[in-house]
Amino acid sequence: MSFILSFFGTVFGVIFIIVIIISCILLGVYKMIGFNNLKSLIFAAKNSKTIKEVEYSRQKNVSGMTKLLEPEIIKDFSDFNKSLLYDIIEKNLMKIFKAIENKSTSEIKNDEDMILIFSTLQQYIEDLKNKNVDIKYSDVVFHEHAIKNYEKIQGMATITTSTTLEYYYSNSENNNEQYSNIKKQTRYTCKFVYIYDETKLGRNKKVFSIHCPNCGAPLTQFGNDMECQYCSSHFEPINLKLWKMSSYKEDYK
């Protein structure tokens, strides 16, 4: 009799301790991430999904100080219009997604809006080709845009933007099923530059690593007469006095 009692005593004791530990963990997680996220975390655990998928489905917030920075930009560039800039972000990101999907830069080769990001994107697409990786983006929906930073250094003004969006994403790398048409909420940080004084550029020149569309050699002159030093092709001069996207980066991987 006393054996059975102590047996049940031990079993209940162990169950009690386990319940206490689980409660502490849930309480800790709840304090860290809040009720709604805890709910989706438990939901994901029930469906044996990963925490990564929960993170994917969480709509992101733009990080920015538009109200503070917009008047500063307008003070320097009276014709600045943030809606136009946001339009370019959406158009450019769509062109980038399409180029990555098709693993081809032919459609953006002579695109003035893409001129400063062309060579980085081309390199990325070459890597995808070499690794035989397919990436797909579908049902892209943009949520919000914000201005994150603004600075003027050495003849060049830079605006950093923050954009939230969602899309269905597939990535064939490592045959990972986790990335097969998964809905992803994400955020991109982009930079736009405007050269207001070419003569003061100095080390800012490296932003302009433009390559000859004919032979691929780096172009060094951006004056009125643009000529490739290697193949002697001539080009239309680039209008530097326009906001041009110089980089883009996904904040969540």
Residues making contact with Zn ion (CB under 5 A): 212, 214-215, 217, 228, 230-231, 233
CB-count exposure of residue 246 (10 Å: 0-12, 13-18, 19+): buried
User: 17 or 217, CB closer to Zn ion?
Assistant: 217
What is the smallest separation between the CB atom of 219 and Zn ion, expressed in angstroms?
8
What is the smallest separation between the CB atom of 109 and Zn ion, expressed in angstroms?
13
User: 37 or 233, CB closer to Zn ion?
Assistant: 233
* Pairing of the two strands 234-235 and 156-171: unpaired
What is the smallest separation between the CB atom of 233 and Zn ion, expressed in angstroms?
5
Rounded to whole angstroms, how far apart are CA atoms 224 and 244?
18
- For 229, the token pair is 């030093």
User: 155 or 213, CB closer to Zn ion?
Assistant: 213
Q: Residue 219: helix, strand or coil by DSSP?
A: coil
Q: Where are the alpha helices (DSSP H) in the chain?
A: 2-33, 35-46, 51-57, 66-76, 82-102, 118-131
Tell me which residue has tokens 């980085």. 120
User: 118 or 194, CB closer to Zn ion?
Assistant: 118
What is the smallest separation between the CB atom of 193 and Zn ion, expressed in angstroms?
23
User: 9 or 216, CB closer to Zn ion?
Assistant: 216
Q: Which helix (H) or strand (E) holds 8?
A: helix 2-33
Alpha carbon of 123 to those of 10, 105, 128, 220: distances in Å? 64, 10, 9, 19
What is the smallest separation between the CB atom of 211 and Zn ion, expressed in angstroms?
8
Q: Which helix (H) or strand (E) holds 235?
A: strand 234-235
User: 28 or 216, CB closer to Zn ion?
Assistant: 216
What is the smallest separation between the CB atom of 128 and Zn ion, expressed in angstroms?
25
What's 179's DSSP letter? Answer: G
